Structure 1
Amino acid sequence: MDDVDRSILSILERNGRISNAELATQVGLSPSPCLRRVNRLEESGAIRGYHAEIDPAAIGRGLRVFAGVRLMRHNRGDVAAFERAAVQLPGVIQVHHVTGNYDYLLQVEVADLPAYEDFHANRLAELPGVATVSSYVAMKTLSGLQ
Protein backbone atom coordinates (compact mmCIF):
# COMPACT_ATOMS: atom_id res chain seq x y z
CA MET A 1 0.00 0.00 0.00
CA ASP A 2 1.47 3.32 -1.05
CA ASP A 3 0.56 6.98 -0.49
CA VAL A 4 -1.92 6.99 -3.39
CA ASP A 5 -3.76 3.99 -1.92
CA ARG A 6 -3.87 5.72 1.47
CA SER A 7 -5.26 8.86 -0.19
CA ILE A 8 -7.93 6.81 -1.96
CA LEU A 9 -8.92 5.19 1.33
CA SER A 10 -9.02 8.53 3.13
CA ILE A 11 -11.28 10.08 0.49
CA LEU A 12 -13.59 7.04 0.31
CA GLU A 13 -13.83 6.93 4.09
CA ARG A 14 -15.27 10.46 4.05
CA ASN A 15 -17.36 10.04 0.88
CA GLY A 16 -18.07 6.51 -0.33
CA ARG A 17 -20.33 7.86 -3.09
CA ILE A 18 -17.67 9.92 -4.85
CA SER A 19 -17.47 9.17 -8.56
CA ASN A 20 -14.42 7.36 -9.85
CA ALA A 21 -13.64 10.34 -12.09
CA GLU A 22 -13.65 12.77 -9.14
CA LEU A 23 -11.68 10.34 -6.98
CA ALA A 24 -9.09 9.98 -9.74
CA THR A 25 -8.78 13.75 -10.04
CA GLN A 26 -8.31 14.17 -6.29
CA VAL A 27 -5.54 11.55 -6.10
CA GLY A 28 -3.83 12.62 -9.33
CA LEU A 29 -4.57 9.56 -11.48
CA SER A 30 -6.54 8.96 -14.63
CA PRO A 31 -9.86 7.10 -14.09
CA SER A 32 -8.77 3.62 -15.27
CA PRO A 33 -5.73 3.23 -12.98
CA CYS A 34 -7.74 4.71 -10.11
CA LEU A 35 -10.52 2.16 -10.61
CA ARG A 36 -7.95 -0.67 -10.74
CA ARG A 37 -6.53 0.51 -7.41
CA VAL A 38 -9.99 0.71 -5.83
CA ASN A 39 -10.80 -2.80 -7.09
CA ARG A 40 -7.49 -4.08 -5.69
CA LEU A 41 -8.22 -2.43 -2.33
CA GLU A 42 -11.65 -4.08 -2.29
CA GLU A 43 -10.22 -7.50 -3.18
CA SER A 44 -7.53 -7.24 -0.51
CA GLY A 45 -10.12 -6.43 2.14
CA ALA A 46 -8.79 -2.92 2.86
CA ILE A 47 -12.19 -1.69 1.66
CA ARG A 48 -14.76 -3.86 3.41
CA GLY A 49 -17.87 -2.24 2.00
CA TYR A 50 -19.86 0.90 1.43
CA HIS A 51 -22.77 2.09 3.53
CA ALA A 52 -25.19 4.91 4.11
CA GLU A 53 -24.88 6.83 7.36
CA ILE A 54 -28.39 6.99 8.79
CA ASP A 55 -29.56 9.49 11.40
CA PRO A 56 -30.59 7.23 14.30
CA ALA A 57 -33.26 9.69 15.51
CA ALA A 58 -34.92 9.60 12.08
CA ILE A 59 -35.57 5.87 12.50
CA GLY A 60 -36.64 5.88 16.14
CA ARG A 61 -33.22 5.31 17.73
CA GLY A 62 -32.66 8.76 19.23
CA LEU A 63 -30.85 7.60 22.38
CA ARG A 64 -27.29 6.27 22.10
CA VAL A 65 -25.88 4.44 25.11
CA PHE A 66 -22.51 2.80 25.63
CA ALA A 67 -22.79 -0.19 27.93
CA GLY A 68 -19.71 -1.55 29.65
CA VAL A 69 -20.18 -5.25 30.38
CA ARG A 70 -18.17 -7.46 32.72
CA LEU A 71 -18.50 -11.22 32.47
CA MET A 72 -18.57 -13.58 35.44
CA ARG A 73 -16.18 -16.05 33.82
CA HIS A 74 -13.80 -15.80 30.89
CA ASN A 75 -13.65 -19.35 29.62
CA ARG A 76 -14.12 -19.84 25.89
CA GLY A 77 -17.62 -21.23 26.15
CA ASP A 78 -18.96 -18.34 28.25
CA VAL A 79 -17.25 -15.74 26.09
CA ALA A 80 -18.55 -17.31 22.87
CA ALA A 81 -22.09 -17.60 24.27
CA PHE A 82 -22.09 -13.94 25.31
CA GLU A 83 -20.73 -12.76 21.96
CA ARG A 84 -23.27 -14.79 19.96
CA ALA A 85 -26.15 -13.42 22.03
CA ALA A 86 -24.92 -9.81 22.23
CA VAL A 87 -24.63 -9.26 18.48
CA GLN A 88 -28.20 -10.53 18.03
CA LEU A 89 -29.84 -8.06 20.43
CA PRO A 90 -32.09 -5.48 18.75
CA GLY A 91 -30.59 -2.03 19.24
CA VAL A 92 -27.00 -3.24 19.51
CA ILE A 93 -25.01 -1.43 16.82
CA GLN A 94 -21.50 -2.58 17.75
CA VAL A 95 -19.89 -4.95 20.22
CA HIS A 96 -16.23 -4.34 21.12
CA HIS A 97 -14.08 -6.72 23.15
CA VAL A 98 -11.93 -4.29 25.15
CA THR A 99 -9.26 -4.10 27.83
CA GLY A 100 -9.62 -2.19 31.07
CA ASN A 101 -12.52 -2.09 33.50
CA TYR A 102 -14.92 -3.93 31.19
CA ASP A 103 -14.73 -6.99 29.02
CA TYR A 104 -17.06 -5.56 26.35
CA LEU A 105 -18.28 -2.16 25.29
CA LEU A 106 -21.59 -2.17 23.43
CA GLN A 107 -23.01 0.69 21.40
CA VAL A 108 -26.77 0.60 21.81
CA GLU A 109 -29.33 2.78 20.05
CA VAL A 110 -32.94 2.82 21.23
CA ALA A 111 -35.88 5.24 21.12
CA ASP A 112 -35.56 6.78 24.58
CA LEU A 113 -34.60 6.20 28.21
CA PRO A 114 -37.59 3.95 29.06
CA ALA A 115 -36.69 1.81 26.04
CA TYR A 116 -33.10 1.54 27.29
CA GLU A 117 -34.30 0.68 30.79
CA ASP A 118 -36.30 -2.19 29.31
CA PHE A 119 -33.36 -3.25 27.11
CA HIS A 120 -30.97 -3.18 30.09
CA ALA A 121 -33.19 -5.10 32.50
CA ASN A 122 -34.83 -7.59 30.17
CA ARG A 123 -32.24 -8.24 27.49
CA LEU A 124 -28.69 -7.15 28.27
CA ALA A 125 -28.55 -8.17 31.93
CA GLU A 126 -30.06 -11.55 30.98
CA LEU A 127 -27.31 -12.48 28.50
CA PRO A 128 -25.19 -15.52 29.31
CA GLY A 129 -22.37 -14.80 31.76
CA VAL A 130 -23.11 -11.12 32.45
CA ALA A 131 -21.89 -10.03 35.89
CA THR A 132 -22.31 -6.25 35.70
CA VAL A 133 -23.39 -3.55 33.25
CA SER A 134 -22.49 0.15 33.46
CA SER A 135 -24.30 2.51 31.13
CA TYR A 136 -23.13 5.79 29.65
CA VAL A 137 -25.63 7.95 27.77
CA ALA A 138 -24.14 9.89 24.86
CA MET A 139 -25.10 13.55 24.99
CA LYS A 140 -23.45 14.46 21.68
CA THR A 141 -21.56 12.58 18.99
CA LEU A 142 -18.70 14.16 17.05
CA SER A 143 -17.03 12.68 14.01
CA GLY A 144 -13.44 13.16 12.98
CA LEU A 145 -14.10 12.03 9.40
CA GLN A 146 -15.88 15.11 8.18
Structure 2
Amino acid sequence: MGTRYARFTQFLKGPVEMIKHAKSLLSGNQHSTPGHNPVGGIVMVGLMLLILLIGLTGYFSVKEFLGDLMGEAHEAIASLALAVVVVHVAAAIIMSLLQKENLVRSMVTGKKQGLPEEAIRFPQYLIGLLLVLGSIYCFYMIMTGAAPSLTQ
Protein backbone atom coordinates (compact mmCIF):
# COMPACT_ATOMS: atom_id res chain seq x y z
CA MET A 1 0.00 0.00 0.00
CA GLY A 2 1.21 3.50 -0.64
CA THR A 3 2.61 5.44 -3.52
CA ARG A 4 5.01 3.67 -5.86
CA TYR A 5 8.15 4.98 -4.14
CA ALA A 6 6.94 3.94 -0.66
CA ARG A 7 6.34 0.29 -1.57
CA PHE A 8 8.71 -2.54 -0.72
CA THR A 9 8.95 -3.44 -4.41
CA GLN A 10 10.80 -0.13 -4.87
CA PHE A 11 13.04 -0.64 -1.81
CA LEU A 12 14.18 -4.19 -2.51
CA LYS A 13 16.21 -4.38 -5.70
CA GLY A 14 18.44 -7.38 -5.05
CA PRO A 15 22.18 -7.87 -4.73
CA VAL A 16 22.90 -7.44 -8.46
CA GLU A 17 21.33 -3.96 -8.50
CA MET A 18 23.11 -3.05 -5.25
CA ILE A 19 26.49 -4.04 -6.68
CA LYS A 20 25.78 -2.16 -9.93
CA HIS A 21 24.83 0.93 -7.93
CA ALA A 22 27.98 0.70 -5.76
CA LYS A 23 30.16 0.33 -8.89
CA SER A 24 28.49 3.34 -10.51
CA LEU A 25 29.22 5.40 -7.38
CA LEU A 26 32.88 4.41 -7.45
CA SER A 27 33.19 5.18 -11.15
CA GLY A 28 31.43 8.54 -10.79
CA ASN A 29 28.59 7.60 -13.16
CA GLN A 30 25.76 7.70 -10.63
CA HIS A 31 22.31 8.75 -11.73
CA SER A 32 19.44 10.21 -9.76
CA THR A 33 16.33 8.13 -9.10
CA PRO A 34 13.03 9.41 -7.69
CA GLY A 35 12.94 6.79 -4.91
CA HIS A 36 15.63 5.18 -2.81
CA ASN A 37 18.68 3.85 -4.55
CA PRO A 38 19.26 0.07 -4.11
CA VAL A 39 21.63 0.50 -1.15
CA GLY A 40 19.44 3.12 0.55
CA GLY A 41 16.41 0.88 0.11
CA ILE A 42 17.99 -2.04 1.92
CA VAL A 43 19.08 0.32 4.71
CA MET A 44 15.46 1.44 5.09
CA VAL A 45 14.26 -2.17 5.38
CA GLY A 46 16.99 -2.83 7.96
CA LEU A 47 15.94 0.23 9.93
CA MET A 48 12.32 -0.91 9.92
CA LEU A 49 13.40 -4.30 11.27
CA LEU A 50 15.50 -2.64 13.97
CA ILE A 51 12.53 -0.51 15.06
CA LEU A 52 10.37 -3.64 15.25
CA LEU A 53 13.03 -5.29 17.40
CA ILE A 54 13.19 -2.22 19.65
CA GLY A 55 9.46 -2.51 20.26
CA LEU A 56 9.57 -6.26 20.90
CA THR A 57 12.55 -6.16 23.24
CA GLY A 58 11.05 -3.19 25.08
CA TYR A 59 7.80 -5.09 25.56
CA PHE A 60 9.62 -8.22 26.75
CA SER A 61 11.74 -6.07 29.05
CA VAL A 62 8.62 -4.58 30.69
CA LYS A 63 7.22 -8.11 31.07
CA GLU A 64 10.57 -9.15 32.62
CA PHE A 65 10.98 -11.94 30.07
CA LEU A 66 14.48 -13.49 30.32
CA GLY A 67 15.48 -11.12 33.12
CA ASP A 68 17.89 -8.32 32.22
CA LEU A 69 18.75 -9.85 28.85
CA MET A 70 15.83 -8.16 27.07
CA GLY A 71 16.65 -4.79 28.64
CA GLU A 72 20.25 -5.07 27.50
CA ALA A 73 19.17 -6.19 24.03
CA HIS A 74 16.70 -3.29 23.90
CA GLU A 75 19.45 -0.76 24.63
CA ALA A 76 21.91 -2.36 22.19
CA ILE A 77 19.37 -2.47 19.34
CA ALA A 78 18.30 1.14 20.03
CA SER A 79 21.95 2.23 19.83
CA LEU A 80 22.40 0.31 16.58
CA ALA A 81 19.26 1.91 15.12
CA LEU A 82 20.56 5.35 16.05
CA ALA A 83 23.85 4.58 14.32
CA VAL A 84 21.99 3.43 11.18
CA VAL A 85 19.96 6.66 11.18
CA VAL A 86 23.17 8.72 11.44
CA VAL A 87 24.76 6.75 8.59
CA HIS A 88 21.60 7.15 6.49
CA VAL A 89 21.51 10.92 6.97
CA ALA A 90 25.26 11.18 6.32
CA ALA A 91 24.84 9.14 3.12
CA ALA A 92 22.00 11.45 2.04
CA ILE A 93 24.23 14.47 2.58
CA ILE A 94 27.10 12.88 0.64
CA MET A 95 24.77 11.83 -2.20
CA SER A 96 23.31 15.36 -2.22
CA LEU A 97 26.78 16.73 -2.86
CA LEU A 98 27.58 14.12 -5.51
CA GLN A 99 24.27 14.49 -7.37
CA LYS A 100 23.95 18.24 -6.77
CA GLU A 101 20.40 17.99 -5.37
CA ASN A 102 19.11 18.41 -1.83
CA LEU A 103 18.17 14.87 -0.76
CA VAL A 104 17.85 15.83 2.91
CA ARG A 105 15.05 18.25 2.00
CA SER A 106 13.43 15.42 0.04
CA MET A 107 13.68 13.18 3.12
CA VAL A 108 11.84 15.79 5.19
CA THR A 109 9.24 17.00 2.67
CA GLY A 110 8.75 13.78 0.71
CA LYS A 111 9.10 15.74 -2.54
CA LYS A 112 11.82 15.49 -5.16
CA GLN A 113 12.38 16.89 -8.63
CA GLY A 114 11.99 14.43 -11.45
CA LEU A 115 10.51 13.72 -14.84
CA PRO A 116 6.74 14.13 -15.32
CA GLU A 117 6.27 10.38 -15.87
CA GLU A 118 7.97 9.70 -12.51
CA ALA A 119 5.48 11.88 -10.60
CA ILE A 120 2.95 10.54 -8.13
CA ARG A 121 -0.46 11.51 -9.45
CA PHE A 122 -2.50 10.94 -6.32
CA PRO A 123 -0.62 11.39 -3.04
CA GLN A 124 -2.33 9.41 -0.31
CA TYR A 125 -2.68 12.10 2.33
CA LEU A 126 -5.82 10.53 3.84
CA ILE A 127 -4.08 7.22 4.51
CA GLY A 128 -1.12 9.04 6.06
CA LEU A 129 -3.42 11.11 8.27
CA LEU A 130 -5.31 7.98 9.39
CA LEU A 131 -2.02 6.24 10.25
CA VAL A 132 -0.86 9.22 12.32
CA LEU A 133 -4.22 9.49 14.13
CA GLY A 134 -4.24 5.73 14.79
CA SER A 135 -0.73 5.92 16.24
CA ILE A 136 -1.69 8.84 18.49
CA TYR A 137 -4.77 6.93 19.67
CA CYS A 138 -2.74 3.81 20.49
CA PHE A 139 -0.19 5.92 22.35
CA TYR A 140 -3.00 7.59 24.30
CA MET A 141 -4.56 4.21 25.19
CA ILE A 142 -1.25 2.89 26.50
CA MET A 143 -0.34 6.05 28.43
CA THR A 144 -3.73 6.37 30.15
CA GLY A 145 -3.81 2.70 31.15
CA ALA A 146 -6.83 1.93 28.97
CA ALA A 147 -4.81 -0.95 27.51
CA PRO A 148 -3.48 -2.41 30.79
CA SER A 149 -2.27 -5.69 29.31
CA LEU A 150 0.43 -3.79 27.43
CA THR A 151 1.79 -1.95 30.45
CA GLN A 152 1.50 -4.44 33.31
| TM bracket (short chain) | under 0.3
TM-score (norm 1): 0.23
Structure holding more strand per residue: 1
TM-score, length of structure 2 as denominator length? 0.22
